[in-house]
Structure 1
């Protein structure tokens, strides 16, 4: 009899994030994030931990107030204060905006948590595509 060892399960679920390649041209969407819930307090630390170091410290996060659960005005993430803002703009209901002073602004498409893997994959791929994505959403 042969016993196969299974790899240990990760202690934290893998971050579902796809970022567009860096380029000199501004983009309407800089990538896609597929959180596991609409609980920003639970999801945000993992997102911020997975961002490129070149983005710097994200000091402000804006989400759609009608989509995400209620949040405080700020939270402590990795010993740094992050301001949380809720917008009610109908023009971008499925995005999250990340701001880093002196570094930039990044807009990520938010794939709804209950989306199937089959449906989420093309959305994430399109958001991270190197081509023009402005008319895809």
Structure 2
């Protein structure tokens, strides 16, 4: 196997004659020991007819002509029986119980088999990048679904830590600007409370 990284171009030509954007794909390095996953694919939609041609265009020269693909129908609303790709047709099948819902199984003309992690199209770029790196790590041993679950837990933890850090920063500013200092009159009643200025979070946080 070989490693291939194809990113979305900064500007896409949207004319009628333009070719589809290259697939967002990362494959395990050559010489990597066999594992449950051979790489990660981040499609832009759940439309197999639209997504498979670009994927097979990249994989055919590497793995031999891809002739069959199977998916789990859990996350694919429509499963066409055949998809025209560059120079041939790919037959598409599905397995409900036997196949991981987050994987794509490919069979080539040379009788090779490969399994790709399918990263949900709606995944944010940071999580997708993490999934791609994890899925192609030489020490990888998780299933496709386990990789997605692990990435989800990591994202939740990171968000919680970021929120905790932000709350701590607000408290620090509040204290430093006299947020807890209340001046009282001789009768003991509050006459003025110093109000700390809560910073506005930076854009993107």
What is the Cα deviation at residue 128 of structure 1? Answer: 1.3
The unaligned stretches of length 5 or more in structure 1 are: 1-6
Matched, 1:39 2:47: yes
The Cα of 1:126 is off from its aligned counterpart by 0.5
Moved more, 31-40 or 43-52: 43-52
Please tell me whether residue 132 in structure 1 is matched to residue 140 in structure 2. yes
Report what 2:94 is aligned to. Answer: 86
- Aligned-partner Cα distance in 2 for 1:106–1:121: 20
Q: Show the counterpart of 1:22.
A: 30
Runs (4+) of structure 1 exceeding 6 A deviation are none
SS in 2 for 1:45: helix
TM-score, normalized by length of structure 2?
Answer: 0.58
Gaps of 5+ in 2: 1-8, 14-19, 148-205
Structure with greater Cα Rg = 2
Q: Output the CA distance in 2 between the equivalents of 1:27 and 1:8.
A: 33
Aligned equivalent of 1:116: 124
Asked if 1:53 corresponds to 2:61, the answer is yes
Judge conservation of contact 1:40–1:69 (CA < 8 Å) in 2. no
- 3-state SS of the aligned residue for 1:59? strand
* Distance of 1:8 and 1:90 partners within structure 2: 38
Write the distance in 1 (CA, Å) between the matches of 2:21 and 2:109: 29
Preserved contact between residue 31 and residue 128 of structure 1 (Cα < 8 Å): yes
Partner of 2:11: 9
Which residue of the other structure, out of 46, 65, 72, is the alignment partner of 2:73?
A: 65
Deviations 1:48-69 (A, max 9, x none): 1122613010000001112112
Where is the helix percentage greater, Structure 1 or Structure 2? 2
Higher relative contact order (CA 8 A, sep 6+): 1
Q: CA deviation at 1:102?
A: 2.4
Separation of aligned partners in 1, 2:99 and 2:72: 10
